[in-house]
Amino acid sequence: MNNSSKNGERRLIDGTEHIFYYGYWIRYYSPPKDTLSNRKRLIDNLTRRAFHQTEAGINTPGRRLEAARAAFAVQTHPERKRVNAAMLAGSLFNRATDLFTSIVDLAELGVKVSKNNELMRECSECFEEALRLGKQVKHHSGCEGIDEIWGEPFKAFTMTPAEFYHSRFIKIAQSMRDIDLVADTMVETFCVSSLFVNVRDSIVEYAAAARHVSGTMKTDPDIFDIWPKFVSLAEALDSFEPVLPDNADQLMQMRTGQGMALLREGKRLLGNIAGARVPMPLSTELYIEKCQQYEAPDIKGPQNKSHVSRDETG
């Protein structure tokens, strides 16, 4: 990290342009021109991304909006009503993108559609209602809501592409911050023990790869190098096994097993944050609390604590 840099500063790093926000150099991507067709493409991509990152079964077609709304209205079971709300939110998002597609099609035929047009107003209303229901939508892990992603198509509808990209860079910097926070916690929790000390390099390398994934668009050609590295490092972290002494008692075996489960939970959380490219504050807080309550078993006594070392590009 470079404390002398200012938010929004751009520079070339290893031949690739980066932008600085809140302690991290993030790969820079130029926003598209502000045209209806470009906005439609951006909204479509963000809507697909929202459904990819959220729970299954809520990608309700826009044509089924009335049925989704009726089902939500009559549902009385609290847990089921949350899911009906998520399905309604999904249908509203799809209805909004359907309407915006019609608006773009009309524009391409030379028909001018003003912001006060009935189609535009209904599109905006669908986005707004979907956004209000977004807190009922969970991440695909089931751990927490993820309305940061759920709100992105609406942001792309109301903001210029340049404004939207600016907001995304900030969210990516916050994601990188949480990735480092989780990885630091993992190192401090496990690597004080001689049983787990050898996992440190795997945690540090996986965290670095997670930061790179969070800052890289899937359309970037470099993803063909970054993603395989990310997956292989996850597999290496998953395959780690502490070597217990032959005389390990039942308590040591139990605490080691608990540690392995907690280590893999941390790996999943790092992967989820990197994939979502937004912070996951509830999951991060709960994981840190679990780590604080866990005491890793040891053979030779505690080792020196160490933190994740960050490269300049985050």
Classify residue 290 as exposed, middle or buried by CB count within 10 Å of its CB (0-12, 13-18, 19+).
middle
Of 130, 159, 188, which residue sits at a domain end? 159
- pLDDT recorded at residue 55: 92
Q: Is residue 282 part of a domain?
A: yes
Q: Is residue 208 part of a domain?
A: yes
Cα–Cα dist 314/310, whole Å: 6
Q: Is residue 272 part of a domain?
A: yes
Q: 169, 269, 162, 270: which is closest to 215 by C-alpha?
A: 169
* 199 and 92 together in one domain: no
Average the pLDDT over each of 1-10, 226-235, 289-298, 303-312 and give the range with the smallest value: 303-312
Is pLDDT at 305 greater than 50 in this prediction? Answer: no
Task: Give rounded-to-5 percent helix, strand, coil for the chain.
Answer: 60, 5, 30
* 61 and 143 together in one domain: yes
- pLDDT recorded at residue 12: 95
Is pLDDT at 308 greater than 60 in this prediction? Answer: no
* 40 and 147 together in one domain: yes
* 188 and 117 together in one domain: no
Mean pLDDT of 65-79: 96
Q: Is residue 168 part of a domain?
A: no
* 86 and 110 together in one domain: yes
- pLDDT recorded at residue 301: 44
Q: Is residue 186 part of a domain?
A: yes
Cα–Cα dist 201/17, whole Å: 28
Q: Is residue 301 part of a domain?
A: no
* 147 and 178 together in one domain: no
138 phi/psi in degrees, rounded to 5: -100, 155
Q: Considering just the CA atoms, what is the radius of gyration of the chain in Å? A: 23
Prediction pTM value: 0.86
* Spatial contact of 4 and 312, defined as CB atoms under 8 Å apart: no
Tens digits of residue pLDDT in 104-143: 888 888 888 777 888 889 999 999 999 999 889 998 887 7
Q: Between the CA of residue 189 and those of 88, 176, 238, 274, 296, what are the distances in Å?
A: 42, 20, 17, 21, 7
Q: Is residue 86 part of a domain?
A: yes
Residues 6+ apart with CB under 8 A from 163: none
Percent share of the chain, pLDDT over 90 = 73
**214: which 2 tokens?**
């969070």
Between 306 and 40, name the one with better pLDDT: 40
- pLDDT recorded at residue 69: 97
- pLDDT recorded at residue 310: 58
* 187 and 130 together in one domain: no
| Number of structural domains the chain divides into | 2
* 103 and 181 together in one domain: no
Mean pLDDT of 83-110: 92
Of 131, 159, 187, which residue sits at a domain end? 159
Mean pLDDT of 267-294: 94
Cα–Cα dist 75/81, whole Å: 5
Chain mean pLDDT for the chain: 90
Q: Is residue 1 part of a domain?
A: no
Q: 32, 13, 47, 31: which is closest to 212 by C-alpha?
A: 13
Tens digits of residue pLDDT in 75-89: 999 999 999 999 999
- Look up tokens 């690739």; give the residue: 16
Is pLDDT at 313 greater than 70 in this prediction? Answer: no
What range defines the domain where residue 103 resides?
36-159
Q: Is 246 helix (H, G, I), strand (E, B) or coil?
A: coil
* 148 and 87 together in one domain: yes
Q: Please state the three-class secondary structure of 56-75 as a single string.
A: CCCCCCHHHHHHHHHHHHHC
**70: which 2 tokens?**
């009726």
Cα–Cα dist 168/156, whole Å: 11
DSSP code, position 133: G
Q: Is 194 helix (H, G, I), strand (E, B) or coil?
A: coil
Sheet with 16-21, side-by-side order of all strands = 10-13, 16-21, 24-27
Band of pLDDT at residue 302, cut at 50, 70 and 90: very low
Cα–Cα dist 235/238, whole Å: 5
Tens digits of residue pLDDT in 134-185: 889 998 887 777 777 888 998 999 899 999 999 999 999 999 999 999 999 9
* 46 and 79 together in one domain: yes
| Strand stretches in the chain, DSSP E | 10-13, 16-21, 24-27
* 216 and 104 together in one domain: no
* 105 and 217 together in one domain: no
- pLDDT recorded at residue 296: 84
Cα–Cα dist 65/32, whole Å: 31
